[in-house]
Amino acid sequence: MTDETGPDPGTLLPIPGFDRVAFLRPLVDDPRIEIGDYTYYDDPTGPEAFMKNVLYHYEHAGDRLRIGRFCAIATGATFLMSGANHPMRGVSTYPFAVFQRGWRKGYDGELEAGSRGDMVIGNDVWIGLRATILPGVTIGDGAIIGAHAVVSRDVRPYAIAAGNPAREVRRRFDDETVAELLKIRWWDWDVAKITRNLQIISEGRPDQLRDCR
């Protein structure tokens, strides 16, 4: 009988003897970070380095990092959260309130200045080597972010974005096909169905997903 269970998403190191790759869900223990099953991070220094790449994630900013299922995140990919922003309402961008004492009285809401909301990474997203995602960005399902890209604006589903600042290079499929893929949402199938249809998911045509059982 064929094993249709697939790897356990609750296992930290899914590849025996290869400890540079880990599933992130069992690794990350932060209520402000949501990570879907089978999303992994690859780093030669060890997958624990992932948390060092989530920067300026201060509680007062109130934002969350939400990453979907089946994402592939390469070494050094960095997620800059809203705490990185400085106030820009006045003459200076200096964060006076951070340094307390008399400066803490700056003005109401100074520490919250510049919050851009949650950062959302969709499902089946590939984030390349040392890419940087800026606060408040949403990256759609099936997108690819090129190595060293700096993503300062939202990326459409199934788009390929590269450069600094990142621009859409092309879309992986036409609009009609993208709409169908977003309706099918193969990443939400049960693991047995995914396992049975791995060849189509990995190598087949999008229209073939319609008939998967």
- In 3-state terms, what secondary structure has residue 77? coil
Query: CB-based contacts of 26: which residues, under 8 Å, 6+ apart?
Result: 9, 10, 11, 12
* Tally of CB atoms within 10 A around 30: 12
Catalytic residue ranges: 86
Helix (H) or strand (E) holding 10: none
> Which amino acid is present at 58?
Y
Pairwise CA distance, residues 176 & 174, whole Å: 6
Number of H helices, E strands in the chain: 3, 15
C-alpha of 113 from chain center: 24
